[in-house]
Structure 1
Amino acid sequence: MPKLTVAQVASLSKPGRYADGNNLYLKVSDTGAKSWTFFWRHKGKRPEIGLGSATGDGKAGKVSLATARQKARAVHDLLSRGIDPREERRKRKRATFGEAADQLFESLKPTWKSPVHTLQWETSLKVDAKKLRSRPVAEIDVEDILKILKPIWHEKHETAVRLRGRLERVLDYAKVKGWRSGENPAAWKGNLQQLLGAKKKLTRGHHKALAYADCPGFMEELRKTPGVGAKALEFTILTAARSGETYGAVWGEFDLDAGVWTIPGARMKGGKQHIVPLSPHVLGLLKALPRRADNPYVFPGRKPGTTLSNMAMTKVIKDLDLDVTVHGFRSSFRDYAGNQTNFPREVCEECLAHEIGNETERAYRREAAVEKRRDLLLAWETFLA
């Protein structure tokens, strides 16, 4: 049987069906509209499945002759495996975002070495994107993605950025599986970039701090305050850490026997690993904290795999009716160390993960100063008590 040509597909106008071979036909309706269809024999009947609108050049989202033949071969493949192509199409239309997300998660899981990474992906796809899970993946559009991302885009920007990337991966996976078509609504460039914009820039300036002489009184009140936020703030003050270092702390970073907290460079402002010696009170605080099987964070949020809200420590300070910032306690510590102790300036600065001197000097001090910093932080703990 002679096959159709591109020219014929473009020129045929008489209503009817025109065979291309291998069960593929071009249908021309009474109105002149053209479409591709596939017929096959099944239990004495001739079922039919449409393969899209037809045009000779594949423009305007319609199906060209070459593409129609590819689709016909795909239907033949299903039939050869005993699969009804109509049921397969219905199944694909019913596929949900949750099904696509879970399949992608399982395919990627063996490639992740860190259990934290695995848990973060699971949290993104099952908790953060919960509202999308029951939706047909073929129907998800830009508005659906914006409803998930907009509420956290500025307040939890890093979380939102990671979530967007994971949503994009799921929707790309669904497209490859044939469960959706068209552009990816979670794509950034030329898409969400125009609707969400960059992270809101913060105004730089001095952080309000409490005079170090007033810190013991504040600590006494803080230790009477219940909740994970209060424990996180106490830990942050005693270790002179940045709030982000505390919020992101996971149990795997701690060696409680050696009394050290090793923060990887990826989590440090300066991009270099920082070792924090832990005082006796901090070790006691950590050992008293419950550990959750569904959460690797030392100061966990309510949902599995999430950390405490980045406003939790600030709320504790406000509830205690104090007009200072969490970061300001690092200034309180530095003022105390400079005015009330004889520790060298370098040791004081290294407690704050500030770099001083050249590369060789810093390398030497990294090895030699951990115990000196332990002594300084112990003095700070004693002062606060």
Structure 2
Amino acid sequence: MKRKESKPLTVHFVRSVTESGRHYDATIRGLFLNVKQSGSKSWVQRVMIAGKRRDVGLGSYPAVSLAAARKKALANLAAIAEGRDPLAEKKAARQAKVVTPTFAEAAKTVHDARLPTWRNKKHGKQFMATLVTYAFPVIGDMPIDQIGREHVLRALVPIWTTKPETARRVRQRIRTVFAWAQAHVLIEHNPAGEMIDGALPPMPKVKAHHPALPYGDVADALAVIEESGAWPMTKACFRFAVLTAARSGEAREAEWSDIDIEKATWTISEKKMKAGKEHRVPLSNAALDVIEAARPHRGVTGLLFPSPRGRMLSDSTLSKLLRENGIAAVPHGFRSSFRDWCAETGVRRELAEAALAHEVGGVEGAYFRSDLFEQRRRVMDDWARFLDGEAGGKVIRFRR
């Protein structure tokens, strides 16, 4: 673009000029009015910053008058003389104007982003419900970069000992929201992280005679585990064991060769069974989804759920997973939860026992020589739907 002869600009000239090009103002060094062929006009100042020629935009005309443009240009020259960078300062000021979201707004963003990755809608509702109930009243309206450890503790301490499982869940979800804020450079430290461990009172210990959860809480437990940062195959093994009502050892020892995807069947050999008798497990769609998700981790050992080193998960792995996530149950307890669900929803006793691979003795055992496989398939499908929230809380009755 052709440079026009430098001379002091006037208000009349600036208003009436139509010739395209750069019209320099001899009054202020580097200041010019840039006129485009379209007729639009804007103010620009050409300066030297740290030895480099830079153009600083001062705004469009007539929004910025000649007098205002000269004032801005003088301020830039003064800043440069002091060793400052007006372009960098302008960028910083623009970034400072970006509105920092409140905790509630950030939580909604995290929820919406993660919703497609969660296995069921109920999980997504639970994520927001716990935050709305326990976190939002304390920190919901606060800008996320203004929330400190003391605010997080104010939300957690009242429920930390009275509702320990819920409190762990709330903390984990608060922590997830702050992790998102860290990733977007909105905060430097996570105020719900390990730094508050010492300020939280000890949680009540899990009583030995309560190793199982009420069946209505199993879906929540699955959601907590899914959100945890545990090894993906550890989480998958736990979910698979719950969906199939299998013993944890059977799930840990499961191999790809045991699975028939087309027939949706898991066959556990007599060597792996506690009773020493082969057991067939009908696989629900949810269980098949777990298997499919495990496929990228398939290794040379043939294990369905290998450890990070490709070996079998240890017998303490699932117990540790539950303990570290504040779930008041042991892995075997989820078989009890399944059995309670069967009893409450009208599943025939022999079907429930067959699903758990229990031997039914006496006359009843002699009568049922079949493993009731196809009938068990319906039971396991309904169990999976219940955990997915599709049952809607309604009791499912099975006809005899």
Flag whether TM exceeds 0.5 (same fold).
Answer: no
TM (norm. structure 1) is: 0.43
Q: Which has the larger radius of gyration?
A: 2
